[in-house]
Structures are given as structure tokens and as C-alpha cells.
Homo-oligomer: A and B are copies of this chain.
Amino acid sequence: MKVLGKAMRSIWVEADGWSVGVIDQTQLPHHFATARLAAADDAARAIRSMLVRGAPLIGATAAYGMCLALRQDASDGALERAYALLVSARPTAVNLRWALDEVRRAVAPLPPPERAAAAYQRAAALCEEDVAINRAIGERGLALLQEAWARRGREGRVNVLTHCNAGWLATVDWGTALAPIYMAHDAGIPVHVWVDETRPRNQGAGLTAWELGQHGVPHTVIADNAGGHLMQHGLVDLCIVGTDRTTARGDVANKIGTYLKALAAKDNGVPFYVALPSPTIDWALQDGVREIPIEQRDGAELCDVTGRLPSGELATVRITPPGSPAENHAFDVTPARLVTALITERGVCEASPDGLRSLFPERTQAGA
């Protein structure tokens, strides 16, 4: 997607042919800065300190971290040390381990002198696969936006509400929930996005607003509290959100607050779509509310807000009184009954066991 008018991805190999560039997302939306990763340590640090975030981008960064390590030392010992270093950078990130396994599997059987080149090849392929999946999600979702535009008689604008950041900054390009929006915008549909601020980490106000703005997509930031009111007044045509984990019956775990928006959508007859790459489907789970453990993060994320002072400097202010505790539940689960449809790279389906099996018939046995 575009930044300062120029197409870019969230991760790339630099012109030197080996070092790796990423956007320093901790500075967004206030400063646009990139960082150059020249060793596995740099990649681990970028993941740990959240210069990069979002499961697919973390995976891609880890894969390139392996490349950087093998470039310096391609021995079996170095391979295992790099794996151990990178896998511990965000211990709960499933995608991170998967990407590292992919690279290790590709290079371990090779003689050491061939390993670095093979690792770069595999890392690049992982990135292309991610882009292809998201492009497919975008194309599938685009049809839903075209329908919404037709329902409006091609008058006014199509208002889409989204929560958190499921955009290209979380992936390699396109994003998941935002991919259909970028495609609709690029196709000339007058789409306008209501961007939920997404407390407590403000990924909407910070990252989603920034990436939509850079690509030129009209948008308005709102409080997480506002979506229901907008839907009551006909100001939302559809919702699209991402998900971290989907169960075999279509329950979706996503950023805290998603469930509240889905309730409001249901109450007002607004379609509520969830965009997901199929690897995030957990075929072993059914009842998301009961079975998906929800991460509790530090309450300080709620109490302390970081932003830009009038001077341009970044600062962090505390908004709660001394002695008032805070709890920070990071995700919630939206039951399938509130989800109009799932948008996957294979197509759009009902959020139900049958719906998912219709797109993924190879899972019919496994899902039983």
C-alpha cells in the first residue's frame, strides 16, 4: 500500500541485497521511520520491542532473522541458536514458530554454504504467500463492498466500520479486514471507514487511521463507544474486522470490544463480516467463549497513554488516579451467531461448521 504516495510493503530486503528493512511501528502515527535489520539480534529486538507487530509480519521478520543469522554463520549450532533466540522474542505468537520451522525445514538438509541463500528464498516465498492470501481475501471481500454500493443505488458513500488494525501494517501487504477496503477504494467505490480508536492500545487511532490516510482512503476516527449510535442512525453499511483465532463452528476471537460491535450490528441489521487467512482457523475448537483462553495484559496499557506533545516529542501520560487498579483483557470472542459471514482466501462462507466445511472440505474428517 502507499506511504507518502509511494507503494511499499511492511518488510523488504534492502538494495544491498541482504539487510532487511521494516517500518518502526512504535513511532506511528507520529513519525514515519524505517529500521534496518542487519543481524538476527536486530530482528529479535524488532519483534520484542514491537517495531513490528501482527502475526504475519512477526513471522516474516523472524524468517528474515534466520537469514541474517545464517549469512554470518551457517553451522548447525548457529541455526539452532538463531531459532532459539527468535522463537523466544514473542513466546505466544504461533505464526512466529511456524515461520521459523518453515525456514529451518528448508535449510537444515542443505550443506552450510547453501543455507543462507535457501533461507532468503524461503523467507521471500513466505512473504509472497502472505500477500497472495491477503490479496485473495481482498478480492473476495470486494464483492461484498460492491453489493453494499449497489444496495445504496451507487449514491453517497459506503460506510464501513472496523476495529483495531487488521491492515497491511500487521501483514506484509494489503492486510486482512482492510484488504477489501483498499481494493474497493482503488476500484473507485467511494468507501469511507469509521475507525474505532481501539483502546487500550489505540491501534485504530494510531495504525489504521495512519495507513488509510497514507493510501488516501477517506476515514474518521471514533471512540470505541460510538459504533452502536452510528448503526442506530443508519450510518454504517457494514462492519469488517480481523480475527486472531476462529473456531471450527465460526466463533472468532479478536481485539477486545469486537463482540460489542457485533451485538450492535445484529441489533440494527448491519452485516458483520470477519476476514481471516485460513491458517488462523483452529479446527480443534468449537465454543470460542468457553475454549479460547484470553490473554490478560498489563493494566498499565490502559492507564498510560502515549502520544505527541505539541512540541512534537512523544510522551506518556497517566489518566487514572494513583491507587486505582486496572484490568486489561486483550481479546474477546464473538459467537458465530453474530457473524454474517467469514471472508477467507478461498471465498465467503457462513460462520458455521457447514459453512467452513464447504470451503475446506479436506477438514471434514478432522473437524468431526
Contacts and interface: CB of A to CB of B under 8 A. Distances in A.
Interface of A: 28-30, 195, 197-200, 202, 205-206, 209-210, 212-213, 219-230, 232-233, 255-257, 259-261, 263-264, 267, 289, 294, 299, 302-310, 314-321, 323-329, 331-333
Contacts of A227: 260
A303 B309 CA distance: 12
Most buried by B among A261, A263, A314, A324: A324
Contacts of A195: 324
Contacts of A318: 30, 307-308
A329 B206 contact: no
A234 to B, nearest CB: 11
B309 A220 contact: no
A224 B329 contact: no
A257 B226 contact: yes
B213 A323 contact: yes
A267 B228 CA distance: 15
B225 A320 contact: no
Nearest to A202: B319
Nearest to A218: B325
Given A263-B267, A264-B259, A206 B321 contact: yes
A306 B319 CA distance: 7
Contacts of A302: 197, 205, 221-223
Contacts of A289: 232-233
Contact of A317 (B229, B257, B261, B308): B308
A77 B257 CA distance: 55
A226 B306 contact: no
- Nearest first, the 9 A-B pairs at minimum CB distance are A225-B257, A307-B317, A29-B321, A229-B332, A209-B324, A263-B263, A307-B319, A221-B326, A199-B223
A262 to B, nearest CB: 9
B223 A224 contact: yes
A239 to B, nearest CB: 13
A327 B222 contact: yes
Contact of A305 (B256, B307, B325): B307
A257 B319 CA distance: 19
Contacts of A256: 223, 225-226, 229
